[in-house]
Every structure is written in C-alpha cells, then in structure tokens.
A and B are shown apart, each in its own frame.
Chain A
C-alpha cells in the first residue's frame, strides 16, 4: 500500500514527528520491578500512519503514553518534533499536549456536558485560540457530523462519538495524533469507517498518526506496523496487510 507521494520523497528528507531514544519505563522497584519499556529506539516520520502492535503486556500503551507526554519515562529521551518532552515540566507538557497533540481514546473521549461541536473545539478553547474556520468546516464535512453538532455525547451513537473524538484530535491541526485502540468499542463497519477517515487524514492532509491496536484489520490501514514484545521493538513492517500482520503476531505470541 505504498503511496506515490511517499515514494517521491526520499526517506532522509522526511522530517521526524516523534522520536524515542533508548526509552525505558520501569514500574515498581527491586525484585518486583517490571520493565514495561526496555530500550526503545524509534523514529516516527511526519505524515505517516503508524500502528503499534504487540501481545498484551508488551508495553504498547505505555509507549504511546510516553510518546504523547502523558507519562514520564524512567530513562531515555522522547522528542516531539524538536522538543525534548522528557525535560519539560508538567505545565509545559500540558501546553504541548494542548497545542501540538491530538488524542483519540478507546472510550470516554467526550465531556458529557459539552455538545459535539464544543467537544471538537475544546483544546482550542482551552488555549483561547480561534479554530481555523475553513479547516474545521472541511473537517466536519469529511467526518459527516454537521447535523449532529449541537447534540450532547449521550445522544450520539458509539461510532458518532468516536468520529467526534477524531474530529477533535484533528481540529487544532496538531503535529501528531495519538490513538489508543480507537476502534476497540466499535463494530467492524463503524470501525472500518473510522479507520478510513484516519487514513484519509494522513493521505490528504499529511497528518501524522500513531495508533495502538491489537486488531490486524485496523493495523492494515497503516503505513507501517511496529511490533513490540516485552518492552522491546522486535520488528517493523512496511505496507502491512491483514494476513502478514496475523502471521507476525502468531509468531510473537508463541
């Protein structure tokens, strides 16, 4: 599934959106210590859709949280663009998340007391920044929620809620979007729509997306799959397909 644009831009010229340098994350101390991440080195290029896969307990969610500045690493460095996230204070990490990062979680993505529209513009409102009206309009067209904008989350279906979450993640035109099992709670049809939308954001707007998933079908929408096991990166697959991913996972789990 290599696209023409990617072929045209040489790998060395493409800029890095996110980078992990020898990252370790240890929970607990002494004999009970668990190394959730154990020397992870990885560069995530701009305008690329990356899926992180691995068996449960492999550290894939931890990696995502560390890359996003939600969690702190035990050692190593995390860069978001040129910024060393690991050296930032909590306050600056918050500002960085607000301005440069978009999030899509598995569930509970929306504030119940705010309408869909308000949820979408929430990060920009928190920053007291005006959303780019044209961009937002285009985004809403693609997401197809124009008639649901003034509804509250409780009045939206699960799929609609996730689409609102995706729109929120993209609305502020962040440098990078992190998605944690974004289709985990959706049926296959709604899940497919969601993934197609994310794919489109990467292709058409050059959005960078890093997604954690355990679903080979979801992973097949990505440009590359990073396989994680026991806190280490064990493989990298460019142009994944469902079968290739399934095979790889089988060997990992055995």
Chain B
C-alpha cells in the first residue's frame, strides 16, 4: 500500500505542487513571523548588551514599575548629584560617571524636525571624562571629539549619514525648553551599530545637559566600572549599602536583561498579532487542501475501486490517502520553513512601508520555529484530508467496473440543518466574545468567526447555484457558448464551486470587515470632533509612536498671541490601578472646557487645580467611586498614591482617556513634560487667518509642531486609520493569494477531469481563445461568488464589531460602498489571473489525445 501511495504521489506532481502551495505559504508566513520576531529580539539583546558593555553597576532611582509607553527618556526620578561622590568613594570603584538623558529632537538642514517612526529622540549628557568613551564602552567615537563647551554636541552616525551632518556643522535641537543651536564636534556609534535601535541621539556636555533637561544638580544615573578583582555583583552590594533610600544599584547585566525582558513583552504582542495572519492563511489553506483531496479522490474512484477489488481494505485506502496528505504536508512545510526567510524579509518590508522600521542583523532561525512550522503544516494538511480520505475508504469495489461518470452532488437537507446550526453556534460564540465580558474575549471572537466560516461553507452550495446563475447570466449573454459553458460548468458541482469560493470568502470577509470597521471609525471620530471639539486649531507633532510630544513653550507662546482665545494642552502619562496599566490625561483645568466639551456630570473641572482626578462616568461606575472618594493610582516615581476624585465626565473621546488631572499634578509625578496636543480657539473678533498666522509665528522655533484646523485634523486622523487598515489588508493579502491558488487548483483539476469534453469541443470547432475564455469566466464566476459571500459575512462581522464597540466611541456604522464594490471587481479580476494556468492548459490540449482519453 505504501508503494502505491508513493507512486501515486509521484505520478501526479502537478497535483502535489498545487496542494502543497497553500501549505507552503501558510507555514511560510508563520515561520517568517517567528524568524522576524526572533531576529528583532536578538538584535535588541545584542544592542542592550552593547549599551551596557563596560558598565559593571548602574545606580538610579527606584521605580514602582517600568513604563511601557517607551518614551525612552524614562519615568524614573532624577537622583541628587552628590550620589556620584558617594559612589566614587566606595572601595573597588574604578570609574563612576553621572549621566542624564531627556528629550532632544534634532532639526535637519531643511528646517524639518527629524522624527523616527516609533523610536524616541534622545539626548544625553556626555561623560566628563573622555577616556570613558573607548573601545570597551557602549558609546564609541567615530569622528571628532567629545563636547567640551555647552554649545557643542555629538550626534549618532545614522542621523549624521541620513541627514548629511558632519563634524563642524551647526545643528538646531529642540528641547522641552527653547530651541538651541549647537556645533557638531563628534559623531558616535553604539558598538558596531550606527544608532540605538533607530532612536536619534545627541550628546551634550554633562552640565549643559543637566540644564537642557531641567535637571540642574541631579543625575538620572551613575555608571560605574569596577576595579580589577572586584566582581560586578560584589560592587553592587557595596554601593547599595551606602546610597540613600529610594536609590538602587543594579549590575550592568541585570539592566540589559531587564531591558530585553520588557522588549520581549512588547514583541510578544507583535508576534501574536502577526501569527494571527499566519493562521488565517493556513485556515484558508485548509479549505484548499480539503478541496484538492476531495476532487482527487473523486477522480481516482475507479483506481480505489480497483484496489478494493484486488483485496485492499477500506482502512488501507483511508491510510493511503492520509499518508499521502502527511507526505504532502511534511514536504510543503519544509519548503514553507525555507520560504519563511523570504517572508520574514517581506514582512519587514511591509512594516517598513507602513512606517515601522525595525533594526535587524542576520535572520535568526530557532528550532522552535521549525518544530511549530512542521507540526502545524502537517496537522492542518492531515486534518483537511480526513474527510476526503473517509469518502475514499467507502468506495465499493464495484466502482472499478462502472463507467466513471462525472460526479453529481446533491445538497442534502441534513447538510442544510447542520450548516444553519453551525453558523448560529458560531454567531453565538462571536457575540458572546463581542458583547459579553470575558477575559479572553478576542479568542471567543476568533473562534466564533472560524465556526461561522465553516457553517457558511457548509451552506454555500445552496447559494452557489443561484449566485452562479445570476453572475453567469450577463457573461452568457455576452459570450454566447463559452459563457454558457462557463456558467454551466460552475453549476455542475455546486459543492466544489462553493468550497473553492469559500476560501476567497474568508479572506474577503476579513478584508471587508476591516474596511467597514475603518469607515465606521472615521465616521464616528468625525462626528465626535464635530460635536465636541470647540478648538479652531489643533497642534500636534509629527513624531511617531510613544508619548513624545513637543515643548510646553509652544502652548505658552501660542497663548500669548492676541488673536488666540483659549489654549489647553494635553499630555499623557502611564500609571497603574491594581497592576493594570492605564493612561491619564493632564490638561489645563481653566481652559479645557473652552476648547472641548467634557460632558462634566459631577464636580467642577477647576477643582483639578487643587490636585485630584476627574473620572469618566464609566470608570467611576465600574470602580464604584464617587466624588469625595479616593482612587489608588500607582505612579512609576512614587508608587501607590491615593488621589481624591473631584468630578466625573462623559466625553472621553477628545481628551483620550478616562482619567483627567491638572498639568501641575502631572509635573509632580512625571519627569518628562511634553505636550502631545495643544488645542486653541480664535479670540473673539480676530480672523481665523490672522490667528493661524499668529500661531505660525509663535511656533516658528518648533519645526516639530504641526498646526491644523478642524478639517485638516480630521483628514489626518482619517489618514492614520487608513494607514492601519492598509497594513492589516496587506497582511491579509496572503490569505487572498492562497484563496486564488485554490481557484487555480480546482480549475486545473476540473480541466483534467473534462479532458474529453474539451477535446470534443475543440474538435467541433471551439477555438483556443474560446476555450480559454470559457475557463476564465468559470474562474470569474467562482471568484465573484466568493467575494459576494465574503461581503455578506464580512458585513455581519463588521456590524457586530462596530455595534460591540459603541461604548468605546464608535457610535456610527458606515458601509464603505465604493470600496466594497471595488473588492468584488478586484475579485473578478483576480479570478481572471487565477484562471491563466488552467485556461492555457485547456487551450493547449491535444485534441486527438483528449478525444482518445478514457
């Protein structure tokens, strides 16, 4: 039996390749995801090891928790400068250098602020001792020297190269305070890297840095090297014994570990998000595999019958088909693992195109990647082949003697009942995930969606007929016989047509759900802005991720203008409640209600000036708090703090969080004071244009600030949504490609099955062109069926998703009609492309051989 299986496989290489492709792509994507995240991980590990290289002990202030928002400048309190002296006196300390860091954004030669997407823009104080920068240290001088006056700076080699800076140039740099001009005296690298994981860096003289970062007389950390014969651990203990409370000493290795741990946490999410797309691809692939095996089993009916007649048992037939699937799955997974490297590189390119530039060294391939890839690939293939294999095992020996007839399928009542039941169960699980309050709601949603796909697939032969008739009608009218045959062929086996279309349905359902979600998001946010935002101008920064922002001097400068009425800035901070990370918004309590409505339900915003916090009504209710109660908030700097609740408000959408505090309380608790957004109104009597000019003048020193009116701001917000949707759609493209491969596959097998028929058609005068067109239009019909079903299912998903998020500010349900129609058209075009190989095969058919085929 084994020999027959292997021989059978080799005899049908095309079939093997087509089946395998779906697995190859799915496994490739999963392997690629692991390779990518492992690579990023390793890159950062290396980087952290580099940056702490040569430093045995770090001394810094304690923190309640590590900030995750990644502003990079840290939310630890500064430590008094005299700690440096204390440390230097510890026995076994070779060198001890103070360091300070903060926000410093370099302005390029065109006057634009350099804003990496994601990584921060950092400034450091240079060690006062030039010998600290040597071959062993993390920071290495590539060119020039260290700064010796407050007007000198070193910048990282990557920024220098990208923006054409060299030693001797002057450069503008933005701070929390006013913009300053420096002379570049040195270019630095980090170990072998040109910069620190994409962050831009500027290094100042230590004292100058202390002043620039508002840290006069204090330091962020003391970096210590140990004398010969003293271990880092030993030195850490000695230092820890002498430094004051609230300050800690850690070894350099511990710091590096801590950094990579927090990175791994962040990457874990990223990894999971990408894996989801990999599994979607494999899920779609499973349909293709199922389909291929079904068709192949049907075509081999006589062969299996003959084997049965010769004494093979049903079990042996079952085993044979399953072994075939395992071989296919294994080989395809192997190829998929190899493809993973290419896909990792491709993913990097996709992410880069969407502004997520990740540093990388050589690609990292771990055993775990191979194990998961192979296991998933083989299991999915095996699982998909079980149904067809069981059918093969039930073929009677008589089948060998009967003349093979093109199999007709019937749609049973049982199938319909099961299909409806499965769909409903799926919808119930999905709804439970969306509307219920479970811990892992996302898994419920995903699981429910998968079950709905199965249910709809089971039902789809029911729709495939009418849809094929409807879609085929104009094609038939246009093309006469080839169109008619295309339509009839797609109707011939509705189950086959339906399950081929189902693969595309899944991809399109997800894509259309995403676009419905996006359109609803845009419509909702536009409505929220219309209803609540009173500000005429919105100032934001072009800097990408994180909570970096721009100098508070921007808001001050704008407020001084006569043409400007009220000005309120918004700042964000991270804190925890019972260990769960939350974000708060800090703003000016006196002006915030002039620039946006807050929907205050209790209290007076002005009370925030005396400390305290405003809670959204929703949080107040869920936490069981009212005005007068205390909320325990855990800040990075001071740990658990009881903050009095002074009021509640409804409209969280503009301020962006459920917790509102004053700017003053913010400054007390966070070391970085950058505004993320400034809202301003035009003064009564002033013209909008004059106000805009005034803002322009007030912000001329800050090229990192973008000024927008409401319409422009809306457009920018919509653009951000579109960008995210674009990324998700690009990642779903793989599932769509696999679905198209499925169409190619089914048609290729159908062409093979209909060899004689095609031969006859060609003999009685069908031209090659007509033969191609017949296959092409059959493909288009299948693709459009998939698209239409996908839109229906996706429409439901989108509606359910948007409805479930009504509380989160997505109040509007919007159908992007044009986009959805474009998807159907695109599916049709894709159908034409998918049909190219089978259509060629059909057209190239040798008429005589075809007629002679049994």
Contact = CB atoms under 8 A, between A and B. Distances in A.
A182 interface: no
Nearest first, the 8 A-B pairs at minimum CB distance are A98-B765, A113-B488, A125-B481, A123-B765, A97-B765, A123-B764, A94-B767, A126-B765
B669 interface: no
Contact of B764 (A65, A91, A122): A122
A71 B761 CA distance: 15
Interface in B370-414: 405-406
Chain B interface bracket (under 10, 10 to 19, 20 to 34, 35 or more): 20 to 34
B477 to A, nearest CB: 13
A43 interface: no
B767 A65 contact: no
Contact of A99 (B491, B765, B847): B765
B239 to A, nearest CB: 87
Interface class of chain B by DSSP: helix
A108 B764 contact: no
B410 to A, nearest CB: 14
Given A97-B764, A113-B491, A122-B761, 13 more contacts: A65-B848, A94-B762, A103-B764, A108-B757, A108-B851, A111-B760, A113-B488, A113-B492, A114-B485, A122-B481, A123-B765, A126-B764, A126-B766
A98 B848 contact: no
A103 B760 CA distance: 9
A126 B757 contact: no
Contacts of B406: 112
Interface string B728-751: 000000000000000000000000
Interface of B: 405-406, 480-481, 484-485, 488-489, 491-492, 756-757, 760-768, 770, 847-848, 851
B438 to A, nearest CB: 50
A105 interface: yes
- Among B406, B757, B763, B767, the most chain A Cβ lie within 10 Å of the Cβ of B763
A210 to B, nearest CB: 15
A243 interface: no
A77 interface: no
A99 B766 CA distance: 11
Nearest to B767: A94
Contact of A114 (B488, B491, B847): B488
A69 to B, nearest CB: 10
Given A111-B760, A125-B481, A94 B488 contact: no
A95 B766 CA distance: 8
Contacts of A114: 484-485, 488
B488 A90 contact: no
A127 interface: yes
Given A113-B488, A128-B480, A105 B848 contact: no
A118 B677 CA distance: 72
Given A70-B848, A111-B757, A125-B480, A95 B767 contact: yes
A134 to B, nearest CB: 22
Contacts of A60: none
Interface string A24-63: 0000000000000000000000000000000000000000
Contacts of B491: 113
B305 to A, nearest CB: 20
A168 interface: yes
A111 B481 CA distance: 12
A109 interface: yes
A101 B851 CA distance: 17
B760 A108 contact: yes
Given A105-B760, A105-B851, A126-B770, A111 B485 contact: yes
B768 A91 contact: yes
Contacts of A168: 764
Contacts of B768: 90-91, 94
Nearest to A180: B851
A90 B844 CA distance: 11
Given A113-B489, A122-B481, A126-B481, A98 B764 contact: yes
B235 to A, nearest CB: 86
Nearest to B479: A128
B488 A109 contact: no
27 contacts: A70-B848, A71-B848, A94-B762, A94-B765, A94-B767, A94-B768, A98-B764, A98-B767, A103-B763, A105-B760, A108-B756, A109-B760, A111-B485, A111-B757, A113-B485, A113-B492, A118-B484, A122-B481, A122-B761, A125-B481, A126-B480, A126-B481, A126-B764, A126-B765, A126-B767, A126-B770, A127-B765
A94 B480 contact: no
Contacts of A65: 848
A71 B768 CA distance: 16
- Among B491, B763, B765, B768, the most chain A Cβ lie within 10 Å of the Cβ of B765
A124 to B, nearest CB: 9
A88 B449 CA distance: 58
B846 to A, nearest CB: 10
